[in-house]
A and B are shown apart, each in its own frame.
Chain A
Amino acid sequence: MYTDIVLDHFMHPRNVGEIPDADGVGSVGNPVCGDMMTFYIKVQDGRIADVKFKTFGCGAAIAVSSIVTEMAIGKTLEEARNITKAQVAAQLGGLPPQKMHCSNLGTEALSEAIANYEARVAAGEISPQQSDA
């Protein structure tokens, strides 16, 4: 069912973990549905400097989370926000049709984390300079 790339990311996921002093955190899905992803980001000079994830979900969900973190690192916030589920699926060498929604969840979680960062900056909780340090 899964491509070798998906299986590789499933068995050796990149960037698993939390960032305690994250600049932005985004959570989508919920365990009731069977898929939940939480993304943590650090932002520097308007780019994603670091990203970690925690995921409750199937093989596809874990693989998607892992590859989204790889795709996000170093991108500007705008670029990161614009990562599409089709691009995610392509990077994974394809996903079974019933698993395509997982790729959506991954990009949404990343977008949520970015939105959370921007909201915190707007609210004065953190400043762009602070996250530059």
Chain B
Amino acid sequence: MRNVYLDHAAATPLRPEVLEAMEPYLRAEFGNPLSLHRYGEAPNRAVQAAREQVAALIGAQDHEIYFTANGSEANNMAVKGVAMMARSKGKGNHIVVSAVEHQSVLYAAETMAKIGFEVTQVPVDRYGLVEPQAVANALRDDTVLVAVMLANGEIGTIEPIAEIAQLVRPRGIPLLADAVDAVGRIPVDVQALGVDMLSLAGSQFYGPKGGAALYMRRGVRIVPLIDGGIQENGRRAGLEDVPAIVGLGAAAALAAQEMEQRTQHLLPLRDRLIARLTTEIPHVYLTGHPTQRLPHHVSVTVQYIEGESMLLFLSMQGVAVSSGSTCTSKALKASHVLTALGVDSALAQGSLLLTLGAGNTIDDVDYVLEILPPIVERLRQMSPIYPGK
């Protein structure tokens, strides 16, 4: 039995260099960055250094980086912050989102709908791609925000954000790109993309949980989610999680240095896993775009069986993966992403999500193909809807 971790979309292991960078701030340098005495000095400098490291990774200025606890908070800060600012100025009532946004964007928009905003969801094609013109067509005179993710964590599809920005920005409407699944994996340059806001999370690229950020172009105005002290230029109050922020910065620096070699490592593994899964096991289908896709991302549907039962058997044999099936979701909801793609609801229940990382090898990929086919066959033999072959 091998231990194979293939759920890097959920969490990634901490790089030793990241832990090393964090340690002083968990030990001797425990001070509050805002303290005026010497205990505040090193933490304060460290937070600033991390700010610069994160900015460098995405082509931003350091003062445009706002640290948050996670990607969901960054998304909420952006959506609710922009909407509430518009509301407070009596300007506009309309929000445009893609149909495949992460729940933190969709539900934040829904909460805004509860207080009177109108939300338009732009549909996607069968690969989960947003058509830039479709976004433009959805814009109204009272649109205050557009949110389209840079890449989708469930199906791996990379969206045409630069093209969308070209249609949205001339209208003076802020554009948010949730890049949580993309930053650290593919080159991301906020200038080239033309976005006004962008969310990222260190937990996706070998940094700690608790270290995430929202990029906000100078000039974007928000009502803060968290009021209180003056941290983050008054836009996100609260004592900074110094160790997590330092870890995020260190992870960002590593990602910037290693981007090329990470992609080189991941692509052949991803493509091998996709090819073997879809050709060696009957009735297995790739979801998301085949090529405009995150380099680490494999998502398939396995027909006639259900995801959680596959997950359990895989886990028992050492393989850790995820699924978008209803039963897997604690909320017992079918994947809104697969639904938006038009995937048949029954087929969507057989969703399997395998996300690669730096520690994976070709032996890991081949091990999955050793143990999964018998699992699938076993569950299909139990299934009332399996026609046999």
Instruction: Using CB atoms and an 8 Å cutoff, list the residues of chain A in contact with chain B.
Output: 2, 7, 10-11, 13, 16, 27, 30-38, 54-62, 98
Contacts and interface: CB of A to CB of B under 8 A. Distances in A.
Contacts of A38: 384
A55 B349 CA distance: 13
B231 interface: no
Given A31-B346, A33-B326, A98-B332, A59 B384 contact: no
Given A33-B326, A59-B312, 17 more contacts: A10-B309, A16-B382, A30-B346, A31-B346, A34-B334, A34-B349, A36-B385, A38-B384, A54-B382, A55-B382, A56-B349, A56-B385, A57-B327, A58-B306, A60-B327, A62-B382, A98-B330
B326 A34 contact: yes
Interface string B352-386: 00000000000000000000000000000111110
A108 B63 CA distance: 60
B191 interface: no
Contact of A27 (B312, B316, B332, B384): B384
Given A34-B334, A37-B384, A54-B384, A59 B309 contact: yes
B303 to A, nearest CB: 10
Interface in B302-357: 304-309, 312, 316, 325-328, 330, 332, 334, 345-346, 349
A88 B299 CA distance: 35
A64 B230 CA distance: 55
26 contacts: A13-B382, A16-B382, A27-B384, A31-B345, A31-B385, A32-B345, A32-B346, A32-B349, A34-B325, A34-B327, A34-B334, A34-B349, A36-B385, A54-B382, A54-B383, A55-B382, A55-B383, A56-B304, A56-B305, A56-B306, A56-B349, A56-B382, A56-B384, A56-B385, A57-B327, A62-B382
Contacts of B308: 58-59
B318 to A, nearest CB: 15
A68 B346 CA distance: 24
A62 B309 contact: yes
Q: Is the interface of B mostly helix, strand, loop or mixed?
A: loop
Interface of B: 304-309, 312, 316, 325-328, 330, 332, 334, 345-346, 349, 381-385
A116 B166 CA distance: 62
Nearest to A62: B309
Contacts of B307: 58
Contacts of A2: 312
A74 B327 CA distance: 32
Contacts of A59: 308-309, 312
A58 B309 contact: yes
A127 to B, nearest CB: 28
Contact of B325 (A37, A58, A62, A98): A58
Given A56-B305, A59-B312, A31 B349 contact: yes
A35 B305 contact: no
A100 to B, nearest CB: 11
Given A34-B325, A57-B309, A59-B312, A16 B381 contact: yes
Contacts of B385: 31, 36, 56
Nearest to B305: A56
A33 B312 CA distance: 19
A16 B380 CA distance: 11
A13 B334 CA distance: 26
Contacts of A56: 304-306, 349, 382-385
Contacts of A11: 316
Contact of A58 (B304, B327, B334, B345): B327
